[in-house]
Structure 1
């Protein structure tokens, strides 16, 4: 078996470090001993996009915010489902992740960052959510392994009561907040409902029909408010 090769290390603002590793044509992004993502397992990240966009249906010139660039699987799936009128903003906290996407992982991204519908925002997705009331048709969060995060306690503010209220305010009526997690979390489901979302839980596989079970929440801002 081929050995893993360390390609780069990147500091996370606020503490911790990500490591980009490669084995043959396979990539892995690690935090300590935890693998955050692997280029061979894209199913649940793709489902984050497809389930969300199916939920909102066809809309004129939709605006989508993706929190967390990762390996670009959510972005690519969103672009495949959207027409030319759409705009997709991708917020990434760690600048090196964007550099990896344009450098060693360029084949994984398949030119998606150069799509004219895409805008990369380097910074905290929570700041972008808080700055744009009623701006988004869908907000897709794949940040810090979900509500029970690994990398930053600061990410908790995306998933607590005030953070969910800010996300709801940033959505257009009928818009959807979609959240990826490595595991179910009943307390998070309750927080979503308390924040006024109509909430659906969707278990999905890490790979396409195989691998670990992950969770996606689809939380809708109803049209009546």
Structure 2
């Protein structure tokens, strides 16, 4: 039996510890001994990007904000769809996540952080959204397991009425707010609609082969744009 190898640890601002493990050919990041993400499951994170990009078809130079680098699945899938004129800004709160991507997980990252279309900000994505007006064609949030978060109580503001209003202001006309979640959340779905969005809910497979657990993505477009 192959044992897990601990590669690195990182403190989450506001509390909690992330640990990066290698297990055979896979990498796993856990939070306080609960698995948070793994290279074994990337399908729904990739769909977050591809389905959002599909909704931006026809825009000549779309600019995406990706909240949470994770293991880079969403970013790499977005770059494959954006074309040469597209751009992606990645907001990642924990600097070690980016260091791991450029270090022990470089083979997984496939150079995506060095792509000329990518800007990385070591910053809370809520702060990036809050300082922006009509700056993004899409905002893709894969933060803290979705609205029912695990890591930081501060992440709740992303999914609050105020956070959704800020996201609406940060989007360009006709832009898309895409929110990934590990599980359905009827209360949050209603909250998005009440915040002035037209909402579509999609259920997608966790694995790229269509198998595994089912995750949820909400795609929301500001009403009237």
With normalisation by structure 2, the TM-score equals 0.98
8 Å CA contact 2:56, 2:62 repeated in 1: no
Q: Distance in 1 between matches of 2:198 and 2:29?
A: 33
> Which residue in 1 is equivalent to 2:212?
211
> Which residue in 2 is equivalent to 1:221?
222
8 Å CA contact 1:183, 1:215 repeated in 2: yes
Task: Number of aligned residue pairs: give it.
Answer: 224
Runs of 4+ in 1 over 3 A off after TM superposition: none
Q: Distance in 2 between matches of 1:73 and 1:221?
A: 26
> Which residue in 2 is equivalent to 1:134?
134
Give how far 1:32 is off.
1.7
Q: What runs of 5+ residues in structure 2 fail to find an aligned partner?
A: none
Write the mapping of 1:79-90 to structure 2, written as runs, cut at 5 A: 79-90=79-90
Give how far 1:138 is off.
0.2
> Which residue in 1 is equivalent to 2:169?
169
Q: CA RMSD in A?
A: 0.8
Q: Distance in 2 between matches of 1:68 and 1:19?
A: 16
8 Å CA contact 1:20, 1:28 repeated in 2: yes
User: Could you list the per-position Cα deviations for residues 36-57 of structure 1 after superposition, in whole angstroms to 9, with x for gaps in the alignment?
Assistant: 1101111000000011111121
> Which residue in 2 is equivalent to 1:148?
148
Give how far 1:221 is off.
1.8
Is 1:112–2:94 an aligned residue pair? no
8 Å CA contact 1:201, 1:217 repeated in 2: yes
> Which residue in 1 is equivalent to 2:61?
61
8 Å CA contact 2:177, 2:219 repeated in 1: yes
Give how far 1:3 is off.
0.5
Q: Distance in 1 between matches of 2:104 and 2:188?
A: 36
Q: Distance in 1 between matches of 2:34 and 2:23?
A: 17
> Which residue in 2 is equivalent to 1:36?
36
Give how far 1:29 is off.
0.4
User: Could you list the per-position Cα deviations for residues 135-173 of structure 1 after superposition, in whole angstroms to 9, with x for gaps in the alignment?
Assistant: 000000000000000000000000010000000110011
> Which residue in 1 is equivalent to 2:95?
95
Q: Distance in 1 between matches of 2:17 and 2:134?
A: 34
- 2:8 partner SS: strand
Q: Distance in 1 between matches of 2:78 and 2:92?
A: 16
